[in-house]
């Protein structure tokens, strides 16, 4: 019960962070799209997508490192936690150098005729790419600190950092929208305009101040909006990672770096093996995510990349609710496995599957129905393909979210080699297929249909290894998770469609009606169909406990 309360408290803290940051992020995107224009926004999504890749890499590697730290914490081995941190620092220093070299090699080929970029923007794109690569070292090196914060379940600091980052991103967006970027790069004095009398030095010294000023020319250079935005974004990433490192060194004793005293060759081999397989799966997924931007760029240009960037923004913000829950739940899953409590670990995982899906479903249904109007309201100038890209990506997210928490259980158990090999193969197959289809005249949205099919195969892989490694009972999953979630989704979705049959035109009135219909049906259907009898009893108990606590504190 104490663990459940801790998860609820941490989730509540992260939800406060989410409510503050989501609106800031969405408004920042609107400002950036307006300031850069569709073409440059698409170019940033293409080239600057390396940052999104690295954030994905950072999160995945942090989860792998957190697995070892939380596992050691679950077995109450504090000295081992310190050794794990030191070994993870060594491991990620080597990884950072490797990733940095690989990105430079890849960049050479990308900017030598591979990407479809306007000729007058090639230099800017190259500079932007270097800004993104420069932050790579800091991103990967900071992974051990991210893992320590998560394993200690310090969600207050995590939430505070998220809010600070959102505020700074909004400040950057405002600066790009309303600032000027003329910088003094030199001073030139025109000697010809000064009447110099070599015979009388006093005549030269008495030259009027007004004449001297007229002879001095200040040279300014105007910097490109996109280049300035790339620079500030990279600097922000570096700043936030440095803050994490300083905080951890001051807050947590295990973050004291002493490689000589804490070196453990056996532990380093274990972490390298686990991290290597984790890195393989993460890298293949990362390449697939960025590769779809490249494939779209080759055939359709940066304008369609802009639509893809909008879809990714929407997907990321609407997925915050479920991701927040998993951020709070992951340490509990890993610590229970470390303590040898497999049953409680799987119970927490099953809870994560169901609750994270229902949290995502609550926001996805109104957005799926009213995507055109919401995008128009948000952006005003909506790029082509943005609506269809958003809808396909949200459907893909719902499919994956139903099974994604199982990955935490597989990682907590530790035997990930077979799982990661299959994931790596599955992750890459949409790219050659989409390239072949685009070459034969298929439209851009075909890519997302292929990725939806990939998500189904990915979910099957998760189910297989959860059963094999974690002894998950498939019949229990399908009966209590899959059927309850899918039936609840279909009922709520159909009921939420009813307002569009009475209100034909898009507008705030129809959007409000859809949200109201979705919310009412969601609360009823999820409680009576989505949840089991035991889960309903537990929720009632937790609700009464919270009400009593609030009532007691206010009186």
206 pLDDT band, cuts 50/70/90, is: very low
In this structure, the dihedral spanned by the alpha carbons of residues 222, 226, 230 and 235, taken in order and rounded to 10 degrees, is 40
**pTM, rounded to two decimals:** 0.67
d(CA 530, CA 358): 8
d(CA 68, CA 515): 43
Q: Is 228 exposed, middle or buried (0-12, 13-18, 19+ CB in 10 A)?
A: middle
State whether residue 360 is helix, strand or coil: helix
3-state helix, strand and coil shares in percent for the chain, rounded to the nearest 5:
85, 5, 15
Q: Among the ranges 274-278, 403-407, 541-545, which has the highest mean pLDDT value?
A: 403-407
**Contact indicator for 274, 67 with CB cutoff of 8 Å:** yes
Which tops the pLDDT comparison, 440 or 539? 440
209 pLDDT band, cuts 50/70/90, is: very low
Q: Among the ranges 168-177, 234-243, 292-301, 493-502, which has the highest mean pLDDT value?
A: 493-502
213 pLDDT band, cuts 50/70/90, is: very low
Task: Flag whether pLDDT at 497 surpasses 90.
Answer: yes
Report DSSP letters for 226-263, one per residue.
HHHHHHHHHHHHHHHHHHHHHHHHHH-GGG---HHHH-
Tens digits of per-residue pLDDT, 36-81?
A: 787 777 777 777 666 566 665 666 666 667 778 777 776 667 788 8
């Amino acid at each position: 019960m104490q663990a459940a309360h801790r998860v609820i408290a941490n989730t509540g803290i992260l939800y406060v962070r989410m409510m503050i940051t989501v609106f800031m992020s969405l408004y920042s995107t609107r400002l950036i799209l307006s300031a850069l224009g569709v073409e440059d926004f698409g170019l940033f999504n293409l080239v600057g997508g390396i940052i999104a890749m690295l954030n994905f890499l950072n999160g995945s590697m942090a989860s792998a490192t957190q697995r070892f730290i939380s596992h050691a914490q679950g077995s109450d081995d504090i000295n081992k936690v310190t050794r794990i941190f030191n070994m993870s620092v060594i491991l990620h220093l080597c990884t950072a150098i490797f990733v940095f070299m690989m990105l430079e090699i890849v960049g050479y080929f990308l900017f030598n005729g591979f990407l479809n970029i306007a000729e007058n923007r090639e230099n800017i794109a190259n500079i932007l790419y270097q800004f993104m690569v420069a932050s790579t070292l800091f991103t990967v090196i900071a992974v051990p600190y991210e893992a320590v914060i998560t394993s200690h379940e310090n969600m207050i600091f995590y939430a505070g950092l998220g809010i600070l980052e959102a505020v700074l991103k909004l400040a950057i967006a405002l600066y790009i929208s309303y600032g000027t970027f003329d910088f003094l790069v030199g001073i030139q004095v025109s000697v010809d305009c000064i009447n110099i009398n070599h015979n009388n030095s006093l005549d030269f010294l008495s030259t009027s101040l007004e004449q001297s000023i007229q002879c001095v020319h200040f040279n300014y250079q105007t910097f490109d909006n996109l280049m300035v935005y790339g620079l500030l974004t990279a600097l922000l990433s570096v700043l936030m990672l440095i803050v994490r490192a300083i905080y951890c060194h001051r807050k947590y004793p295990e973050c004291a770096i002493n490689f000589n005293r804490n070196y453990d060759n056996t532990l380093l081999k274990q972490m390298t093996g686990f991290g290597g397989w984790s890195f393989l799966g993460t890298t293949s997924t990362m390449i697939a995510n960025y590769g779809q931007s490249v494939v779209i760029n080759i055939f359709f240009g940066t304008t369609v990349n802009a639509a893809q960037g909008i879809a990714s923004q929407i997907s990321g913000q609407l997925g915050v609710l479920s991701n927040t829950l998993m951020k709070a739940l992951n340490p509990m899953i890993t610590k229970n496995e470390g303590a040898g409590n497999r049953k409680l670990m799987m119970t927490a995982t099953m809870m994560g599957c169901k609750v994270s899906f229902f949290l995502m479903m609550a926001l996805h249904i109104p957005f799926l129905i009213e995507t055109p109007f919401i995008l128009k309201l948000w952006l005003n100038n909506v790029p082509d393909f943005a609506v269809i890209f958003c809808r396909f990506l949200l459907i893909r997210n719902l499919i994956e979210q139903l099974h994604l928490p199982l990955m935490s259980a597989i990682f907590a158990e530790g035997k990930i080699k077979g799982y990661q090999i299959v994931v790596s193969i599955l992750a890459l197959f949409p790219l050659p297929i989409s390239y072949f289809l685009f070459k034969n005249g298929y439209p851009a949205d075909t890519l997302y249909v292929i990725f939806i099919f990939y998500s189904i195969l990915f979910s099957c892989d998760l189910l297989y290894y959860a059963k094999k490694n974690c002894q998950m009972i498939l019949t229990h999953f399908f009966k209590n998770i899959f059927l309850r979630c899918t039936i609840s989704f279909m009922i709520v979705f159909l009921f939420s469609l009813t307002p569009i049959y009475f209100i034909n035109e898009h507008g705030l009135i129809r959007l409000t009606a859809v949200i109201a219909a979705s919310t009412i049906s969601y609360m009823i259907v999820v409680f009576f169909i989505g949840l089991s009898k035991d889960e309903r009893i537990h929720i009632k108990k937790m609700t009464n406990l919270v009400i009593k606590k609030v009532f007691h504190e206010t009186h």
